[in-house]
């Protein structure tokens, strides 16, 4: 298999080991070098006090999509961790599902700067609800 096929297998294996992703009902829906898309339903067990998706859901999906966008550009013997992440909430996260699109901004030798946009999906509509910007660091795979 080619290099990115191996990378994708590695990313999907890592994703599958994240029990939090299962708890959120999240699926990794697209992966390309430097880009990762994750989707999760706005399920009844993931809400804040007004019935919208919890900010923690938007954060967790955006952070994870951003992290795997970084990992998709790294060598095979590394894993990745979040150094720091900032989220701005743009609109209440109301709808059927959230979709987080993570992208590499700059892949450096020691650190990778990433961003993510999170959208609320409802029928054909796709509304931006959050914007994230942060830093990932490679770590030795265990």
Q: Minimum Å distance from CB 119 to a second copy?
A: 13
- Per-position DSSP letters for 41-61, written without gaps between them: E--GGGB-TTSSBPHHHHHHH
Which residue of 2, 5, 50, 77 would you call a contact of a second copy, by CB under 8 A?
50
Task: Give yes or no for residue 60 binding a second copy (CB under 8 A).
Answer: yes
Q: Which residues of 68-97 are buried (b: 16+ CB within 10 A; e: fewer)?
A: bbbbbebeeeeebeeeebebeebeebebeb
Closest to a second copy by CB, 2 or 45: 45
Q: What is the DSSP letter of 90?
A: -
Query: Using CB under 8 A, which of 4, 29, 32, 86 touches a second copy?
Result: 86
Q: Of 1-9, 15-23, 33-41, 96-104, which segment contacts a second copy by CB under 8 A?
A: 15-23
């Amino acid at each position: 298999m080619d290099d990115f096929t191996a990378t994708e297998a590695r990313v999907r294996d890592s994703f599958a080991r994240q029990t939090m992703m299962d708890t959120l009902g999240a699926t990794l829906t697209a992966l390309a070098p430097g880009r990762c898309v994750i989707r999760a339903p706005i399920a009844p067990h993931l809400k804040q006090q007004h019935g919208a998706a919890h900010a923690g859901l938007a954060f967790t999906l955006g952070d994870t999509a951003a992290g795997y966008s970084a990992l998709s550009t790294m060598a095979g013997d590394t894993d990745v961790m979040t150094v720091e992440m900032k989220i701005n909430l743009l609109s209440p996260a109301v709808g059927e599902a959230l979709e987080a699109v993570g992208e590499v901004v700059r892949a450096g030798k020691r650190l990778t700067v990433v961003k993510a946009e999170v959208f609320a999906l409802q029928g054909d509509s796709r509304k931006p609800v959050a914007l994230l910007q942060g830093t990932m660091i490679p770590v030795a795979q265990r």
